[in-house]
Amino acid sequence: MKKISFRDVGLRYTFSPNVEPVARVVPGESLVLEIQDASSGQVRRKEDVRDKSKIPFANPVVGPIYIENAEPGDTVSIFIQNIKPLEGMGAVYFLDSLESYLTGVSLSKFFQNSLNFKTVICDIRNGFVELLDGIKIPYKPMLGTIAVAPHPEIESISTFKNPGPHGGNMDLPDIGPGSRVFLPVYHSGGLVYLGDAHAAQGDGEIFGVAIEMPAEVIVKFELHKGRKIEWPRIETDEELITVVSASGGREIKDAIVEAYLQLALWIEERYNLDRHDTLVILGQTGKIRIGNLWTAAAKISKRLLDGIY
């Protein structure tokens, strides 16, 4: 199995179609990828801080990865086989954008004051993360950022902000080992990027930072010819999930509604159910997960749709 490391190919901070692919794969092929954490390696000790004067951008990714025969109008899927920490640790640290992330107004900048948050270094071992002294939580790895090069009208987009139909920084805990992420193709080869591994993360990523870690990821790429989708989809053993972001003037309420409509269309397509009946089902059984504060994911149990109770 071919291995691609950020140490060899470097880090990217935009999703762009104008970059030479770091690897080419045929559908059905797997890769081992080494990815850096969201701080670009700046935070490893409790004394460390995220220094934007040295590395101004966040959320580095590895890519693009070119999938043979993928063309605009197709869909690619990425099956996440495994995610393991590269260094046995993760970090939670302060971002100067935290207040604006939560409230839209940065009072600390207005009053020229620091929030004085300490960096937390977390050991990862034996299936658990030591979050604080005496407090352990389950190791539940995920990829915060996964995308294809966006629509040609956009050209390129930041890996940190503005997720959209191309994917991006969605921060959904559902994107972990055993899940399959479906993304629309806008350029030849699909041009897949991924990064931003977390050892664990709560819904909403309310602090703006999860347990950020460098990781080794094993992923398998598939191609679905002639299958066009409008927004990202995720399939796990238990659920179907559709993802819509609050971007381009769309509020999170609108993203939730659109995510449910996209899920209704997927159910109609897969189970041959009338979309109106599907909305009735979703109205009583659907679930919503918020990834970061601008990403909504609508979910339904496959067992229910398969008639298994």
Judge if 219 and 247 occupy the same domain.
Answer: no
- Residue-wise pLDDT for 110-164, tens only, equals 555 555 577 899 999 999 999 998 899 999 999 999 999 999 888 789 998 789 9
**Is residue 24 assigned to a domain?**
yes
Judge if 24 and 75 occupy the same domain.
Answer: yes
Judge if 87 and 127 occupy the same domain.
Answer: yes
Tell me the average pLDDT across 193-221: 95
For residues 116 and 150, the answer to whether their CB atoms sit within 8 Å is no
Looking at 198, 226, 254, the residue that finishes a domain is 226
Judge if 222 and 257 occupy the same domain.
Answer: no
**Is residue 233 assigned to a domain?**
no
Counted domains in the chain? 2
Judge if 208 and 249 occupy the same domain.
Answer: no
pLDDT at 282 over 60: yes
Nearest to 39 by CA among 50, 53, 28: 50
pLDDT at 22 over 80: yes
**Is residue 232 assigned to a domain?**
no
Looking at 203, 226, 249, the residue that finishes a domain is 226
**Is residue 94 assigned to a domain?**
yes
Backbone angles phi, psi at 269, to 5 degrees: -65, -40
The pLDDT assigned to 97 comes to: 60
Helix or strand holding residue 132 (H, E): strand 128-132
**Is residue 120 assigned to a domain?**
yes
Q: Is the dihedral of CA 37, 216, 90, 41 positive or negative?
A: negative
Judge if 166 and 274 occupy the same domain.
Answer: no
**Is residue 221 assigned to a domain?**
yes
pTM of the entire predicted model: 0.92
CATH number at residue 7: 2.60.120.580
Question: What length is written for the chain?
Answer: 309
**Is residue 174 assigned to a domain?**
yes
CATH number at residue 246: 3.10.28.20
In DSSP terms, 209 is beta-bridged to: none
Range of the domain at 249: 239-305
**Is residue 39 assigned to a domain?**
yes
**CA pair distance 217, 6, nearest whole angstrom:** 12
Tell me the average pLDDT across 231-252: 92
Judge if 156 and 264 occupy the same domain.
Answer: no
Judge if 109 and 184 occupy the same domain.
Answer: yes
Judge if 272 and 127 occupy the same domain.
Answer: no
Looking at 186, 202, 226, the residue that finishes a domain is 226
- Residue-wise pLDDT for 30-40, tens only, equals 999 999 999 99
pLDDT at 71 over 90: yes
Judge if 212 and 245 occupy the same domain.
Answer: no
Q: Hey, what amino acid is at 309? A: Y
Judge if 160 and 81 occupy the same domain.
Answer: yes
Cα distances from 63 to residues 4, 19, 60, 66, in angstroms, run: 9, 9, 10, 9
Judge if 279 and 221 occupy the same domain.
Answer: no
